[in-house]
A = this chain, B = another copy of it.
Amino acid sequence: MIISDRFLVTGFSGFVSKHFLDFLESEKKVVHIVGIDLFPPSFNIKNFNYVKCDFLKVDLLNKTELEKVISEFKPNYVLHLASFSSVALSWKKPVESFTNNTNIFLNLIETIHSLNLKCRILSVGSSEEYGNVNESELPLKETHALKPNSPYAVARVSQEMLSKVYADSYGLDIVMTRSFNHIGAYQKDIFVVSSFAKQLTHLKNNASEIKEISTGDTSVIRDFVDVRDVVKAYYLLFKKGKAGEVYNICSGRGISLNDVIQIMASILDMSVIQTIDNQLVRPNDIRKIIGSNEKIKLDTGWNNAISIEQSLNDILEYYK
């Protein structure tokens, strides 16, 4: 088998990376992946038939290490997943959040530019970049103004602005995303849907307890997209996205956290009481956000195939 593409994947040990590998394998893509991260992945990277996979421990803040890996591997695609991606934690550790979003990205693109490497970079951003929006402006198109309202969101907008500068001034082949909240198996339980799923399956398994779960403000509405649809979008953007452009990756539908809980409770055939934990209520949180996915559909033929019920069901299966 001849290797068709060489992908460098940053933030390799995270759950999006695992789903990206699974996608490539299921599509029988004969590719070579070099994954880099601060810690090795907890999933097996050697059980694929089509995907050849290696892991290297690399700190993206260490430019010398990064240069060595990139100059040796010479990827033709770079999937930049590495991120300090929790909004909540960015309030507690704003400096770390900023450094581990923006500074690592700048190191990455500056290394690729200085090596004069021809490759396509996917700069993964976030729907948090939009900030608070009026309901009348939904669903959000990519042309909408960005009003970031958390340290994490500022870091992501900074990353996107740097992408634009390097694309416009140096012709770097960068495609940008604003990825909405993605959900799926293997996601860390600091993220909201996984946290709910973990709590609910635990309650289900302990018949005697009061069915009570601890939440933040569950009236907020989010546009959740299944991680398996997300990684398909990333692959299509590598192949068909337009350089220097930014793409929403979202389902186009909004759902409240409360409804997420109710759907999961219904799948588990139980009823549940919510209690508000003020520690989980974020300052200045976005009330309602729904994205438009017209642009990525038009340019790449992508579609979000997986329903929210299917996603939630599969996450609960994972926790069982």
Contact = CB atoms under 8 A, between A and B. Distances in A.
Given A158-B154, A161-B148, A161-B157, A98 B94 contact: no
Contact of A94 (B99, B110, B149, B153): B110
Contacts of A24: none
Contacts of A150: 165, 169
A4 interface: no
Contacts of A103: 95, 98-99, 103
A63 B98 CA distance: 15
As for how many copies of this chain the complex holds, the number is: 2
Given A94-B106, A102-B102, A169 B284 contact: yes
Given A148-B161, A158-B154, A284 B98 contact: no
Measured as residues with beta carbon below 8 angstroms from the partner, the interface class of chain A is 20 to 34
A151 interface: yes
A203 interface: no
A66 to B, nearest CB: 11
Contacts of A63: 95
A95 B233 CA distance: 30
Contacts of A157: 158, 161
A21 B52 CA distance: 63
A106 B94 CA distance: 8
Contact of A165 (B102, B148, B165, B168): B148
27 contacts: A63-B95, A91-B169, A94-B106, A94-B110, A95-B103, A95-B106, A95-B107, A95-B110, A98-B102, A98-B103, A98-B162, A99-B103, A102-B102, A145-B145, A148-B161, A148-B165, A149-B164, A149-B168, A150-B165, A153-B165, A154-B161, A154-B162, A155-B158, A157-B158, A168-B284, A169-B284, A170-B283
Ranked nearest first, the 3 interchain pairs of A and B with the lowest CB-CB distance are A158-B158, A154-B161, A169-B284
